[in-house]
Amino acid sequence: MNTLVLCIIIVILLYIPAIFITNYFILDLFPSTISPILVYCSLLSVFTFVIGSGISIYSSKKNCDRVNALNVIKEGLRHVVYFLIAYALIYYVSVIREPFFTIFGSGKLGYSVVQSFVIVLNSITATIINYFTSIEKSCKLSQPEIDKNLNKLDKYLDTKPVKKNVKKIEIRD
């Protein structure tokens, strides 16, 4: 299976349960004096950062067996930004959440479904960007490495191919 498709499937399978568990169980553990939006965004931002960093590490290791630590942090933060944008859209733009509320109601289920849908869509976009950016940044060769590889290639191309003695078959009538 293509590794990008695998990353997208993993993101979907991790986000949906995390959103439902946060809405149904974790938010109830905090006192009512703390804003549930702040708790939700804080918890899932940490979760999102870990997912984004993991995708960056996985994609660069899979393609060139290298990891760029600074890029891992940047890609983790990119995932967090995409998550926060999606959450802000859900929270402030009623046009996005109203169709879900019509179908599922405006309770925990309705919020969980709309959050899952919009956040997963944004996270898929972030995953695709993260995957290819991580490969591009981590697998970049330095000039000495390029020169070394070109010298190997030049030596290989300068060698003359060895001809094999092939017996020719004569065709007689």
Spatial neighbors of 41 by CB under 8 A, at least 6 apart, are 84, 87
Spatial neighbors of 127 by CB under 8 A, at least 6 apart, are 4, 7, 8, 11, 55, 79
Output the pLDDT for position 106.
Answer: 85
Ranges in the chain, pLDDT < 50: none
Token pair recorded at residue 104: 């599922």
Cβ of 138: how many Cβ atoms within 10 Å?
A: 22
Output the pLDDT for position 137.
Answer: 87
Output the pLDDT for position 128.
Answer: 94
Spatial neighbors of 130 by CB under 8 A, at least 6 apart, are 52, 55, 56, 59, 75, 78, 79
94: amino acid identity, one letter: S
Output the pLDDT for position 78.
Answer: 92
Can you tell me whether residue 84 is helix, strand or coil? helix
Output the pLDDT for position 131.
Answer: 92
* Cα 105 from Cα 92, distance rounded (Å): 18
Output the pLDDT for position 1.
Answer: 59
